[in-house]
């Protein structure tokens, strides 16, 4: 006869509820008790029945994560944080790469409903009314990660993108640059594009008295190729710039590549500042100075919030803004 949770509790000298917490939320159990339970589980070769646990605790220990692009370096770091937090709480992630495709997202939501996931994490993209209605029908806790909604009261975790845009621009100004250009994300993007652009414009006006930035700005979609193309357009219309603030590391690498093709050095001729602090920032030549986001912490904190909701706990704050910081490397020089 297969060992039961009761057998594990008896051998380890704890209650069945403690055994359950070790299985589902090990961080909530003291190390001494956890070690006893884990030793008993190993000796008895106990394998918990996931279906039975779901019936007893009204949870499947599974969480759906909707991602716009699983191959994106930023998203990968956020997922690492989510995964570590989910392991600590005994949950499993079901990753759904939507590719920003509406029909694909609807199919995933149907799948997550069939899997009876306990909760959902929605990452990076804006929350539209249509998506909200889909989430509302699921009737499960939802947390927004690397995005937020001012209209719908879902908890969220991200950086303050407007302040990050302001601080990145100010950093370049403090280095002596007076002709600071920006390659922004789309201003139709309310999560990262518009706020970072707004922060840039505010810093240019307050710090340098520059109100008209049309000749100093171009736009991309956060990817390498659009950074290259945007820098090409920017360079054609303004050759006086001494620094470029690209609002993603990928676009910043596109900027560096274009400048290299023109025989210009970074940072000798033009300084380049990125945004995110993904792994590629450490791999570029020169190594990229960037506005760092705490990507891992964003993912981890998002899962922590979701777990609190699943345990019916009251959140201390609905919208959490984690700190950003300038990571100095080699692509920005003082003039």
Check if the beta carbon of residue 165 is closer than 8 Å to that of residue 197.
yes
Supply the DSSP symbol for 140: S
pLDDT tens sequence across 65-103: 999 988 888 999 999 999 999 998 888 999 999 998 989
On whether the CB atoms of residues 299 and 77 are closer than 8 A, the answer is yes
**Tokens 């621009």 identify what position?**
169
CA distance 266 to 246: 14
**Residues in CB range of 176: below 8 A, 6 or more apart:** 334, 335
Domains of the chain: 5-57 (1.10.260.40), 62-159+295-323 (3.40.50.2300), 161-293 (3.40.50.2300)
Whole-number CA gyration radius for the chain: 24
Whether 238 and 212 have beta carbons less than 8 Å apart is answered as no
| Cα-Cα-Cα-Cα dihedral sign, residues 105, 78, 161, 292 | negative
Lowest mean pLDDT among 21-35, 84-98, 250-264, 311-325: 21-35
Distances (CA, A) of 299 to 100, 161, 177, 223: 19, 17, 35, 21
Query: Mean pLDDT for the chain?
Result: 92
Helices 102-115/129-138 angle, 10° precision: 10
**H-run or E-run covering 218:** strand 217-219
* Interval 234-251 mean pLDDT: 96
DSSP notation for 74-107: HHHHHHHHHHHHHHHTT-EEEEEE-TT-HHHHHH
- Asked if residues 162 and 196 have their Cβ atoms less than 8 Å apart, the reply is yes
Least confident stretch, 90-104, 251-265, 293-307: 90-104
Predicted local distance difference test score (pLDDT) of residue 262:
96
Q: What is the largest CA-CA distance in the chain?
A: 80
Pairing relationship of beta strands 325-327 and 289-292 according to DSSP bridges: antiparallel
Residue 193 has pLDDT above 80, yes or no: yes
Predicted TM-score (pTM) of the model is: 0.83
């Amino acid at each position: 006869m297969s060992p039961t949770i009761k057998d594990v509790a008896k051998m380890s000298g704890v209650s069945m509820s403690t055994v359950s917490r070790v299985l589902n939320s090990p961080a909530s159990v003291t190390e001494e008790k956890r070690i006893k339970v884990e030793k008993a589980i190993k000796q008895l070769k106990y394998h918990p029945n996931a279906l039975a646990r779901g019936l007893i605790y009204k949870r499947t220990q599974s969480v759906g994560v909707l991602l716009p692009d699983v191959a994106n370096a930023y998203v990968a770091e956020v997922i690492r944080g989510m995964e570590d937090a989910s392991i600590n709480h005994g949950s499993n992630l079901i990753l759904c790469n939507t590719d920003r495709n509406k029909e694909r997202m609807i199919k995933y939501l149907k799948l997550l409903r069939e899997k009876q996931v306990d909760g959902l994490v929605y990452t990076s993209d804006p929350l539209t009314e249509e998506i909200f209605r889909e989430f509302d029908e699921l009737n499960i806790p939802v947390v927004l990660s690397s995005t937020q909604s001012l209209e719908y009261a879902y908890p969220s975790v991200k950086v303050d993108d407007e302040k990050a845009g302001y601080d990145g621009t100010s950093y370049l100004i403090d280095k002596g640059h007076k002709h600071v250009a920006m390659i922004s994300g789309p201003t139709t993007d309310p999560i990262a594009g518009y706020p970072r652009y707004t922060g840039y414009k505010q810093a240019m006006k307050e710090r340098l008295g520059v109100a008209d930035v049309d000749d100093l700005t171009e736009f991309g979609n956060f990817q390498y190729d659009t950074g290259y193309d945007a820098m090409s357009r920017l360079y054609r219309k303004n050759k006086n710039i001494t620094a470029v603030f690209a609002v993603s590391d990928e676009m910043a690498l596109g900027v560096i590549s274009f400048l290299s093709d023109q025989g210009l050095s970074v940072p000798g001729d033009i300084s380049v500042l990125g945004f995110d602090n993904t792994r590629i920032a450490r791999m570029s030549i020169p190594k990229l100075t960037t506005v760092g986001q705490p990507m891992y912490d964003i993912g981890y904190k998002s899962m922590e919030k979701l777990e609190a909701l699943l345990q019916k706990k009251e959140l201390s704050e609905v919208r959490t803004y984690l700190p950003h910081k300038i990571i100095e490397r080699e692509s920005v020089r003082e003039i």
